[in-house]
């Protein structure tokens, strides 16, 4: 329980349905913890909010300190990916390693039968196995960030909000006077208050020696200017390049080998093919390849039809139409209809 309206309403619904319900909140690391930040995800304020909801519902509440585990598994990975010229999604790592990894293991050790969250996704059983499906609210669907879950996790997972829409959840919370009913959405990167690049500059040891200015070049190798360090840019970025040119420039590639930022016209940011590594399948086994399916290349991307085929150390994805800003480090998630089949990291 994060102290927000989604997990709070999920706990309310579970209790209403007759489950013996217990709330658990994680104390996680944040870059401004030493400044006693007043709010933000996983803050002391959030823990108090979650406890207040549990008191209101008349259920037990636990707080588990996983600061060190979160820092080593999620934050260090986040920083390392940026140093390697990739753009990570820390929520996916947190879900896999912390929430549905360490926390779910802890729940098993405490002899709980099921594990519930406020995610907007669905778990169903089909042909003897568990499948992960999109939440019915297409604007809130979170199956994308859960694609690394497998059969063991899904068999114990309960998602009370999967068949609901966000306005319904708010209405239930308000009608039943749940304390978190009017709490706003949390920010995107929970452990960073300000700009991610400013965070990296303070977090990474010897940042100045690892992140150096370099040349901005076009696809022909012509030098157009200087960049301040590759961690400040991502594929598809247009603003903040600091270069005035005869046509709008977009980031096409982060060339870590030569420490150069490759830019070009908007059409140069489009690509039809990509390789995906560290692939996992929800079913636990790889389907017959090649596979026709829909693919999302980031959380807010509109999925697109593609063919997934085998390649060395992963799979290759060939889109039927070119996609904009395929970004190394982001996750590609494969769908067939409403079902999330699995996915991996864009190489």
Give the count of domains, the chain: 3
CA dihedral (310, 333, 135, 12) in degrees, to 10, reads: 110
Per the annotation, the verdict on 190 as an active-site residue is: yes
Same-domain check for residues 168 and 43 = yes
Residues in the chain: 347
Name the CA radius of gyration of the chain, rounded.
22
Q: Of 73, 91, 190, 293, which one is the catalytic site residue?
A: 190
> Could you tell me the residue range of the domain that residue 322 belongs to?
270-346
What CATH number is attached to the domain comprising 248? Answer: 2.30.30.280
For position 42, what pLDDT does the model report? 61
What CATH number is attached to the domain comprising 12? Answer: 3.40.50.620
Residue 126 lies in a domain: no
Same-domain check for residues 15 and 56 = yes
What's the predicted TM-score (pTM) here? 0.93
Residue 230 lies in a domain: yes
For position 187, what pLDDT does the model report? 64
What CATH number is attached to the domain comprising 308? Answer: 2.40.30.10
Same-domain check for residues 305 and 227 = no
Same-domain check for residues 257 and 274 = no
- Burial of 15 per CB tally in 10 Å (0-12, 13-18, 19+): middle
Same-domain check for residues 170 and 88 = yes
Residue 205 lies in a domain: no
Contact yes or no for 263/304 (Cβ under 8 A):
no
Q: Of 42, 94, 293, 311, which one is the catalytic site residue?
A: 94
Question: 10-residue block means of pLDDT along the chain (347 residues)?
Answer: 96 97 94 54 82 98 96 96 95 96 95 96 96 96 98 97 97 96 81 84 92 95 96 94 93 96 97 98 96 97 97 96 98 98 98
Residue 341 lies in a domain: yes
Per the annotation, the verdict on 42 as an active-site residue is: no
Residue 50 lies in a domain: yes
Same-domain check for residues 169 and 244 = no
Same-domain check for residues 83 and 15 = yes
What pairs with residue 125 in β-bridges?
A: 130
């Amino acid at each position: 329980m994060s102290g927000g309206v989604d997990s709070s309403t999920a706990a309310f619904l579970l209790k209403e349905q007759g489950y013996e319900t217990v709330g658990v909140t994680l104390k996680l690391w944040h870059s401004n913890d030493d400044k006693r930040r007043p709010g933000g995800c996983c803050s002391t304020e959030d823990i108090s909010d979650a406890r207040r909801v549990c008191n209101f519902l008349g259920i037990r509440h636990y707080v588990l300190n996983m600061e060190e585990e979160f820092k080593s598994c999620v934050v260090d990975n986040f920083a390392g990916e940026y140093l390697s010229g990739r753009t990570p999604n820390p929520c996916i790592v947190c879900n896999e390693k912390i929430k549905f990894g360490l926390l779910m293991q802890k729940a098993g050790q405490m002899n709980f039968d099921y594990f519930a969250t406020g995610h907007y996704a669905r778990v169903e059983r089909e042909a003897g196995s568990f499948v992960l499906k999109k939440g019915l609210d297409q604007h809130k669907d979170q199956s994308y960030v859960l694609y690394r879950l497998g059969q063991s996790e899904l068999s114990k997972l309960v998602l009370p909000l999967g068949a609901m829409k966000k306005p319904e959840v708010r209405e239930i919370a308000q009608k039943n006077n749940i304390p978190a009913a009017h709490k706003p959405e949390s920010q995107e990167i929970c452990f960073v208050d300000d700009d991610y690049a400013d965070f990296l500059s303070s977090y990474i040891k010897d940042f100045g020696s690892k992140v150096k200015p370099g040349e901005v070049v076009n696809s022909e190798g012509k030098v157009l200017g200087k960049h301040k360090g590759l961690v400040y840019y991502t594929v598809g970025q247009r603003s903040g390049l600091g270069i005035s040119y005869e046509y709008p420039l977009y980031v096409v590639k982060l060339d870590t080998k030569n420490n150069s930022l490759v830019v070009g016209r908007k059409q140069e940011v489009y690509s039809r093919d990509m390789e995906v590594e560290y692939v996992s399948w929800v079913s636990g086994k790889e389907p017959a390849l090649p596979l026709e399916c829909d693919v999302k290349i980031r959380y807010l991307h509109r999925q697109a039809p593609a063919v997934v085929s085998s390649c060395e150390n992963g799979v290759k994805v060939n889109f039927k139409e070119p996609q904009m800003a395929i970004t190394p480090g982001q996750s590609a998630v494969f769908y067939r209809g409403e079902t999330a089949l699995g996915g991996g990291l864009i190489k």
